[in-house]
Copies of this chain bind each other. A is one copy, B any other.
Amino acid sequence: MLGISKLAQELGLSTGTVSRALNNMPGVHEKTRQRVLEAAQRLGYEPNQAARTLALGQTKSVGFMIDLDPDTASAGDNFFMGVFDGVQSVLEPEGFDLLVLPCPTRQDRFAHLDRMVARRVVDGMILSGTEKFDPRIDLLKSSGMPFVAFGRTASADDFSWVDLDFEGVAESAVDRLVALGHSRIAITVPFGDFNFGEVFLSAYRKALKKHRIGFDSDLVFQTGLGEEDGYLLADALVKARASAIVLIFEAAAIGIYRRLDEMGLKPGRDLSVIGFRDEVSVRYLKPRLTRYSLSVFDVGAALGRTLLSQISANKAQPGPASQISIPLTLVEGQSDGPPVESAPQELGRKARIAT
């Protein structure tokens, strides 16, 4: 409402001086600065963003693109809320605002991003839900807009990203299960072409190889992030005579527990289950789920810091790519143990005949 010219007029000063005072520029008499600050405060003056952006050439805000598509893996639960919080924590001190840009459908991701980039509504972009082949990365690279991706992609390498250490989790889980005596270790991967699905799977294969266990594609299952996926998965696991399962989405554990219970089987005894994130919804399962903990806040903070340094780097030359893998730490539960020889296999055979 109240513009800088009105404010200047009120003070009997030029807009230039007022602007300099407000922005803590040098070369303003301290007394004048105080008068200006006081008046601005009293009159509730706030600079118009659009005018400021136009003059400065920067918006002082960054975008965070998320997918709304419910059946994709990237959305869901409170995960992103925690990440946003972390991003904000580093943005705010620098005077940057965070604008979350939800993209309605998976199909429009590229076009939506393209539009946002071209219109310059933000100074930098955080991408999420990266896919194995992700043209958005190339779009961003050629646009010259600073960005950081939450997740890697196989289609490019020289860009900044922050990602979870999926390899570490896969290897740790397999190591642990092998040490317990398992060899029929199943794994879940997400639907879609998310890059982390590929990463998780290949780390799993590599770990198996390390232990000289053959890879069996019948032990790889695609799941979504709902509990119901686990419920259905339990039957498939029994059928496939798996003695252990490593989950990419921990919520499935709830469904697995429920279905096992119905079958008269027990997690940790008849089937070893290792979850992924230490999310609140799986924290109260009994027996306690073996899983990995992670600070989503830290993920957000890493994203924010990386983007900010990208933005402040020489505009002509994008800064060196920063690539951060966030480690997860094991939280031991009782959902994994030595394999039983008989029970699951027999049930498995029965189930097989039944189908």
Contacts and interface: CB of A to CB of B under 8 A. Distances in A.
B75 A78 contact: yes
A88 B115 contact: no
Given A100-B100, A102-B88, A284-B227, A68 B50 contact: no
Interface in A60-87: 61, 68, 70, 75-78, 81-82, 84-85
B118 A104 contact: no
Given A100-B100, A286-B258, A119 B48 contact: yes
Copies per complex of this chain: 2
Interface stretch (A21-29, A51-59, A212-220, A340-348): A51-59
A44 interface: yes
A144 B46 CA distance: 15
A194 B51 CA distance: 37
A294 interface: no
A54 B89 CA distance: 30
Interface string A211-232: 0000000000000001110010
Contacts of A78: 70, 75-77
Nearest to A108: B92
Interface string A114-129: 0110111100000000
A280 B227 contact: yes
Contact of A284 (B51, B59, B101, B255): B255
A99 interface: yes
Contacts of A228: 280, 283-284
Nearest to A285: B258
Given A70-B81, A78-B77, A49 B121 contact: yes
A84 B64 CA distance: 14
A104 B75 contact: no
A303 interface: no
Interface in A255-298: 255, 258, 262, 280-281, 283-284, 286
A98 interface: yes
Greatest chain B CB density within 10 A among A76, A77, A121 is at A121
A120 B75 contact: no
Given A46-B119, A99-B101, 20 more contacts: A44-B118, A48-B119, A49-B120, A49-B121, A50-B50, A50-B120, A51-B54, A68-B88, A76-B81, A77-B78, A84-B102, A89-B104, A97-B116, A97-B121, A99-B100, A100-B101, A100-B102, A226-B281, A227-B281, A262-B286
Question: Ordered nearest first, which 4 A-B pairs have the shortest CB separation?
Answer: A46-B118, A100-B100, A50-B53, A49-B119
29 contacts: A1-B144, A46-B115, A46-B118, A46-B119, A48-B54, A49-B119, A50-B50, A51-B54, A54-B54, A68-B82, A68-B84, A68-B85, A76-B77, A76-B81, A77-B77, A84-B102, A88-B102, A89-B104, A99-B99, A99-B101, A100-B100, A100-B101, A228-B280, A231-B284, A251-B281, A254-B254, A258-B284, A262-B286, A281-B281
Interface of A: 1, 44, 46-51, 53-54, 59, 61, 68, 70, 75-78, 81-82, 84-85, 88-89, 92, 97-102, 104, 115-116, 118-121, 144, 226-228, 231, 251, 254-255, 258, 262, 280-281, 283-284, 286
